[in-house]
Amino acid sequence: MGFEHKSVLLNETIEGLNIKPDGIYVDGTLGGGGHAYEVCRRLGEKGSIIGIDQDEAAIEAAGIRLKDFGEKVTIIRSNYCDMKSKLQEQGIDKVDGIVLDLGVSSYQLDTADRGFSYREDAPLDMRMDRRQKMTARDIVNDYSEMDLYRVIRDYGEDKFAKNIAKHIVAARGKSPIETTGQLTEIIRASIPMKYQKKSGHPAKRTFQAIRIELNRELEVLKNSLDDMIEILNPGGRLCIITFHSLEDRIVKSAFKKNENPCTCPPDFPVCVCGNVSKGRVVTRKPILPSEEELEYNSRSKSAKLRIFERS
């Protein structure tokens, strides 16, 4: 199956990047190359884009999609948290714009054997980078009940987290949990029927939580934001699309801190901490998908775009 991924908030992101034809841009979550393609279309002779992704299927698909842009495009297999060092290897210190489209791609969800989806029965995998040893199966079978509860509560924001963790531990006591189908059934049995009827698929939150834990998604995001703002040229922009309230919170607070990093008590007449603003938050409120987009791409439902501009 081809790498299909509908880029969410595509026009809004491209507009938000404020592309200069001769600028250098980075797509830190290249995916199928949807955002990168639109950036390339707006670049002149001297412009370029560096695409980063840890998924080999994404790299292959984006390579095909962007091949007509030739030398303008450099594709690197890595995690965006290594962006700064990967760019330095290319002799690049500063860039004019960075885009991140977080979460899991439609392709990863729709390729059953990747184990991201609760709708298909497949081995419990969920690795975004298949070079990684640990899989979702290890989390489900090896984490303590307390740790499972913490992961499902914090990353899945599921109010039945305690019960789900208890059921998982009881089930694996009989035999290891190997597939997404088995896990889905266990989760289903942990949630009262009346809630299942009104709150979407019962496994959705737990699958999301395990995926975030396995791929260290929130940690990677938190540890990368300051670096990304640091490598922007003056006027350069960082556009981030999140799909999860915890991701959005991390982005919002990092942007705010970079805009106003002063740590002096509010009653000080002048700032003495010496922390200087790195720029401004362009989006006071996040940009949300239009009604039209929500209609043709249901996966855009929880998407939020926030933009920061370097001073």
Annotated binding site for S-adenosyl-L-methionine: 33-35, 53, 80, 101, 108
Let me know the angle formed at the C-alpha of 309 by 307 and 311, rounded to the nearest 5 degrees: 165
Q: How far apart are CA 193 and CA 227, in angstroms?
A: 46
Other residues' Cβ atoms within 10 Å of the Cβ of residue 146: 11
Q: Are 4 and 282 in contact (CB under 8 A)?
A: no
Q: In whole angstroms, what is the distance from residue 31 CA to residue 10 CA?
A: 13
Helix (H, G, I), strand (E, B) or coil at 37: helix
DSSP, collapsed to helix, strand or coil, labels residue 48 as: strand
At 273, the amino acid letter reads: C
Binding site as annotated, residues: 33-35, 53, 80, 101, 108
Q: What is the largest CA-CA distance in the chain?
A: 66
d(CA 117, CA 108): 8
Kindly state the DSSP code that residue 298 receives in the 8-state scheme. G
3-state class of 290 per DSSP?
coil
Nearest to 105 by CA among 146, 171, 65, 59: 59
The angle subtended at Cα 107 by Cα 101 and Cα 113, nearest 5°, is 130
User: Can you spell out the DSSP letters for 13-33?
Assistant: HHHHHT--TT-EEEESS-TTS
